[in-house]
Amino acid sequence: MISPPRSWAQTATALAALLFLSGCMTVGPDYEAPEIQTPDLWSEQVSEQVSAGEHADLQSWWKVFDDPKLESLIEQARNENLHLKQAISRIYQSRAMLAIARGEKYPVVDLDANISQSKLSDDGPLREVVPPNGFKSQNLFQLGIDAMWELDIFGRVTRQIESADAAYDATVEDYRDVLVTLLADVAFTYVDIRSAQQQIVYAKQNAKEQKDSLALTEERYSTGLCSKLDVVQATANLEGTLASIPQYELMLIQALNRLAVLMGQDAGTLQKEFSEPGPIPKATTAIGIGVPANVLRQRPDVRRAERQLAAQTAQIGVATADLYPSFGLSGAFSLQSNSLSTLLDSSSVTWGLGAPMQWNIFSGGQVRGNIQVQTERTHEMLLKYQQTVLNAIEEVENAISGYDLSQTTTQHLKASVTSTAEAVDLVLVQYNSGLTDFNNVLVTQRDLFTQQSRWASSEAQTTMNLIALYKALGGGWDLNENPAK
């Protein structure tokens, strides 16, 4: 048995020193999440319904409408939407990149095996020492392991893992942001469908009443109680109302096709499912919005921007590590023999150890230039994060005001429709009694259709403003949900 050479102790001592130094000095800035000042309360004076409500269940905000159809559509979209599936795929990719980065912490070990046969040329450089019968062919059997390990003395690998880890978190937040937008878009589109259906109902109701008015004018004209002008005006009024119906039907078809795509289906597949009109969804409970600081903790776009900033900050350390030497450990152990029968003998052993060092002492300023690039990119990401926060607060402020004011508009339009409908009944009685001309009937019927259309649009807009508020608050996702199981 061969005893280890005395140099092994020196080699082991050197390797131990390198291992001790590994990870002892991590260059580059340590990341600290930025502190952003936010207002304590929302600046706008909001309605009692918004300000007095309990804090909304943002994870399932659509349940505030108590609409089973909407809840079913949202569930389908969560399972089938292609944009959401793409976001999940990006999470898988990022998670794999994180695994690659973490793998640099460990040695790279290769197993190699080789069987070869060779013969020297009898007329080659060794021809003067060729045996009488010429060189014979030689067999070589080889089985070995090669290993290489970068010692992370200055933290390049550590910073790379930090960056990959934060980038992975950012893709999770990106998925959540896509989810927030998707659920809001499904609800928006559903409201568009119900609004178009309601507009069609109003248009057909008014067309029926205007058709009755036309019949009345024709009867009065035939008995000489009115002029042909009344008949012509009644006809024009009816045709104008009928002309609006195809426009609303087109709006309905487009909304249905848009909803089908959101649910990962072909356009045109939902017409039968929505053949019957339904009411425009309305909130059934009070709404609570919390405080601005909570919005920053809930909104995925803000969370994503913060994680992107963290990922980029770590890249400064990765670039800075290039200023310092890199150390590693290498080793090789193999068995080599001319005969397979002696391959496992101790005499067939060959091995080697090394501690390579590489230091880029001159690169024409490229290393420091890269550090500057990464530093400026980090500053850019900080500004992007700050801008995202400002945008988030603005969106919530606008959504609060929009929801509050649209409710007032809807209430006034509802009262206007009630009064105008009563005016239509009164003016028809007066016209039938000869107490007024048909022009008053014409004007009030047009006003009724206009006010009903505006009322339906305002009801839809009020609901959409509430949906926009929930979207601005970052509602629709659960912290405990794992998007990529």
The residue-averaged pLDDT of 7-31 equals 66
- The predicted-structure confidence for 404-448, as pLDDT tens digits, reads as follows 899 999 999 999 999 999 999 999 999 888 888 899 999 999 999
| Lowest model confidence (mean pLDDT) among 90-94, 188-192, 292-296, 341-345 | 292-296
**What is the model's pTM?**
0.86
Question: Which position has the higher pLDDT, 110 or 339?
Answer: 110
Radius of gyration (C-alpha) of the chain in whole angstroms: 39
pLDDT score at 1: 36
The residue-averaged pLDDT of 171-185 equals 96
- The predicted-structure confidence for 37-51, as pLDDT tens digits, reads as follows 777 776 654 444 455
Confidence of residue 16 (pLDDT cuts 50, 70, 90): low
Map tokens 């400064």 to a residue.
316
Confidence of residue 135 (pLDDT cuts 50, 70, 90): confident
HEC per residue, the chain: CCCCCCHHHHHHHHHHHHHHHCCCCCCCCCCCCCCCCCCCCCCCCCCHHHHCCCCCCHHHHHHHHCCHHHHHHHHHHHHHCHHHHHHHHHHHHHHHHHHHHHHCCCCEEEEEEEEEEECCCCCCCCHHHCCCCCCCCEEEEEEEEEEEEEECCCCHHHHHHHHHHHHHHHHHHHHHHHHHHHHHHHHHHHHHHHHHHHHHHHHHHHHHHHHHHHHHHHHHHHCCCCCHHHHHHHHHHHHHHHHHHHHHHHHHHHHHHHHHHHCCCCCCCCCCCCCCCCCCCCCCCCCCCCCHHHHHHHCHHHHHHHHHHHHHHHHHHHHHHHHCCEEEEEEEEEEEECCHHHCCCHHHEEEEEECCEECCCCCCCHHHHHHHHHHHHHHHHHHHHHHHHHHHHHHHHHHHHHHHHHHHHHHHHHHHHHHHHHHHHHHHHHHHCCCCCHHHHHHHHHHHHHHHHHHHHHHHHHHHHHHHHHHHCCCCCCCCCCCCC
Question: Taking the domains of the chain in order of start, what are their residue ranges?
Answer: 29-105+154-324+365-472, 107-151+326-358
Q: What percent of the chain has pLDDT over 70?
A: 90
The residue-averaged pLDDT of 440-458 equals 94
The residue-averaged pLDDT of 108-122 equals 88
Question: Which position has the higher pLDDT, 295 or 450?
Answer: 450
pLDDT at 122 over 90: no
pLDDT score at 52: 46
Question: Which position has the higher pLDDT, 314 or 338?
Answer: 314
Helical (H) or strand (E) element with 114? strand 108-118
The residue-averaged pLDDT of 332-344 equals 87
- The predicted-structure confidence for 258-293, as pLDDT tens digits, reads as follows 999 999 999 989 999 999 999 999 988 766 676 777
The residue-averaged pLDDT of 106-114 equals 92
Domain 29-105+154-324+365-472, what architecture? Up-down Bundle (1.20)
What rounded mean pLDDT belongs to the chain? 88
pLDDT at 348 over 90: no
The CATH homologous superfamily for domain 107-151+326-358 is: Outer membrane efflux proteins (OEP) (2.20.200.10)
pLDDT at 464 over 90: yes
